[in-house]
Amino acid sequence: MVYITSWDDFVDRSVQLFRADPDSTRYVMKYRHCDGKLVLKVTDNKECLKFKTDQAQDVKKMEKLNNLFFTLMSRGPDADVSEVTGKEQTEARAGKKGRGRKQ
């Protein structure tokens, strides 16, 4: 289990691992408050990919990776993930608040 240092490489290899065997692939996040480190792990019991960070800006990247995996898990491993992004989708829906009438 070696940590992957490049975020883009970690994401690409994680998606490839999931698409190869979606039934046994797991995605785990672990945050250690005492160290201030976030560890992301994707494994299929044969291969293990890990990424470790202590940068607050990487939380946005982790959110995008979560959305990517949610999309792959809900739509299937052959889903098009090119339109999957982090916060932009939730902001687009935020404008449709409430169901009451306009005044």
State how far the Cα of 92 lies from the Cα of 52, in Å rounded to an integer.
Answer: 31
Helix boundaries (H) for 1-103: 7-20, 58-75, 87-94
State how far the Cα of 28 lies from the Cα of 38, in Å rounded to an integer.
Answer: 11
State how far the Cα of 59 lies from the Cα of 53, in Å rounded to an integer.
Answer: 9
What is the residue extent of each domain of the chain?
7-102
The answer on pLDDT for 4 being more than 60 is yes
| Whole-Å CA distances, 34 to 21, 50, 54, 57, 82 | 34, 19, 11, 18, 36
Residue-averaged pLDDT of the chain: 82
pLDDT at site 95: 58
pLDDT average, residue stretch 56-81: 84
* Domain range 7-102, its CATH number among 3.30.870.10, 3.30.420.140, 3.30.720.10, 3.10.180.10: 3.30.720.10
pLDDT at site 89: 47
